[in-house]
Structure 1
């Protein structure tokens, strides 16, 4: 099982020691570094920063939001990063959610799967640079309909790799299937080994729609909280607040896709309670309402010996690589798991 690091997005401000920690991650043998974006820090600038400080780790967006940029702007950023990093970029794309898409970016969220499918098609055209980019779809038409001066254009920057990998971030089964159908990899979140068969079925559904079936090199990377601590409960307590945020507050009631993951896992009453408490601003109570059993399904917590045993369950799943969630304070202890 390969292990990378998903730094995520910056809350408040970037860590003061980010440069040193990125260099330590590269030197320690981690396989990848990922960044995210929500409605604050963007995803490409930190990766360019990381590219200048590292020499071997893959550099991925987990994820670049569909509503944040036109597909050609995303292709421009990804191609530029690929050049500057010597071909280490992985472009992860995700639909985001209605609150961010419509409230922050001012972009409609309706029909996210169809929108993502069209977006990826345009991105791939721009990355390949085989012909001027054009698209007659309803979401990202190029040239702009009715334009008198617009014409299809080909990127002035030649690709470092015309087949730069495009992945999808997905949680629901239809979106997971879409990643298998049109992408080069799946970025998983809140993956639970106990539900591996559920995700295999979703992936197989997508591969069945793809000419030639599953392509060589298709990968699955799961972002996973990891806390090495001799006390399992103390380790779980470090994860509960972030888990409560996603389960309870990352999206409106009825439109929180992270919440839905735990409902599908059989924790419907827990998820409902956490959401109720969180949206009532009782965040500490929301975190405390999350049982250790749930934490252990989607996270690796406890002594190093226990985590190594737990990793055996992950080895048997569709996951090829674990991306440790956040910048671990105990980097040496996590690196020892490699």
Structure 2
């Protein structure tokens, strides 16, 4: 099992100990460091800035929102960071949700699967640098010939030769169709709210993608990086209680009530009634009650919490389910060292 440090996206201010976290993760044997974005900080800049002091860890986005940049712009970011890091970049992509895509980026959210397929295809053209990049669209036509076009658009190849033509592309995916698409066209799956209990269902979705004509990978060379809070503690009950407000936020407060991808994941786990209750409480401003309505097992489904023996048993269970990397968030260097000792030693 590998460990990836999830730095996430910034709140009101950048984390003061970001450089220390990154340096400690590399020193303790973490495989990768990831940064995210929402509607504040971006994902690439922290990796370039803090990653400049590293030599070994891979630097990944988890995730870059595809509506934030055109596919050629995203490819430029990726090939630049890959050069600067000496070939250590992982490009993690995700579609986000309609509230962010239409409310923040001002573009339609429709057809996320088709947009993802076209987006990845264009990025791979840029990185291959075999010919001028073109796309028939309909989402990202190149050259653009639609309304307002001058007719002067010209297919281009990147001026800069990519260091690697096969920069790994991982996709953040939650539903069956998106996971199958990920197995078909990507190099890895960024799984959020993964639970080993449902591994047979996930494997069915993945196998559908692997079996498609032209699939890029097989299960043997495909990476599954699952977001998972791992906490070594003797106070299991108290730690679980402290995590419930975050679960309530994502289940009840993220996205629109009628379209919350995180809530859909928990419905597939069998928590439909709880999701309905938590959503109603959270959106009526009763956030403490929403957190209290979440049963302990709903938290521990997607996290590993307990003493050292329980944590190591949990890690083995996730590994046996097919997960190759745990994406963990750490508050300080001491926690990074603790997790490295528990998981990697």
The one of 309, 313, 335 aligned to 1:309: 313
Distance across 2 between alignment mates of 1:284 and 1:34: 30
Residue 265 (structure 2) aligned to one of 261, 277, 287: 261
Identify if the C-alpha distance between structure 1 residues 264 and 139 changes in structure 2 by more than 3 Å, giving closer, same or farther.
same
SS of residue in 1 equivalent to 2:301: helix
- How far apart, in 2, do the equivalents of 1:194 and 1:313 lie? 9
TM-superposed deviation, 1:312 = 1.9
Kept in 1, the 8 Å contact 2:22–2:51? The answer is: no
**Deviation by residue 1:73-110 (Cα, 9 ceiling, x = unmatched):** 10000100001111000001111100000000001000
Matched, 1:247 2:251: yes
Equivalence map 1:275-290=2 (5 Å): 275-290=279-294
Q: Is the 8 A contact 2:185 2:215 kept in 1?
A: no
Alpha-carbon shift at residue 300 of structure 1 (Å): 0.7
- Of residues 199, 214, 239 in structure 2, which corresponds to 1:196? 199
Q: Tell me the distance in 1 between the aligned counterparts of 2:47 and 2:283.
A: 33
How far apart, in 1, do the equivalents of 2:327 and 2:34 lie? 8
Superposition pairs for residues 230-241 of structure 1, below 5 Å? 230-241=234-245
> What is aligned with 1:153?
156
**RMSD between aligned residues:** 1.4
Q: Which residue of 2 aligns with 1:332?
A: 337
Q: How many residues align?
A: 338
Tell me whether 1:163 sits opposite 2:166 in the alignment.
Answer: yes
TM-superposition CA deviations, 1:116-144 (whole Å, max 9, x none): 11111111111111111111111001111
CA–CA separation in structure 2 for the residues paired with 1:298 and 1:126: 36
Q: Is the 8 A contact 1:7 1:327 kept in 2?
A: no
**What is the TM-score when the length of structure 2 is the normalising length?**
0.95
Structure 2: any 5+ residue segments left out of the alignment? none
The correspondence of residues 216-227 of structure 1 with structure 2, limited to 5 A, is 217-227=221-231
After TM superposition, give the deviation of residue 330 of structure 1 in Å: 2.1
Cα distance between partner residues in 2 of 1:96 and 1:210: 27
- Counterparts of 1:1-338 in structure 2, within 5 Å, are 1-145=1-145, 146-211=149-214, 214-215=217-218, 217-327=221-331, 330-337=335-342, 338=344
Asked if the contact 1:51–1:84 (Cα under 8 Å) also holds between the matched residues in 2, the reply is no
SS of aligned partner of 2:77: helix
Residue aligned with 2:150, SS: coil
Q: Please state whether the residue corresponding to 2:270 is helix, strand or coil.
A: coil
- Kept in 1, the 8 Å contact 2:245–2:288? The answer is yes
On the 8 A contact 1:32/1:58 being kept in 2, the answer is: yes
Aligned with 2:5: secondary structure? strand
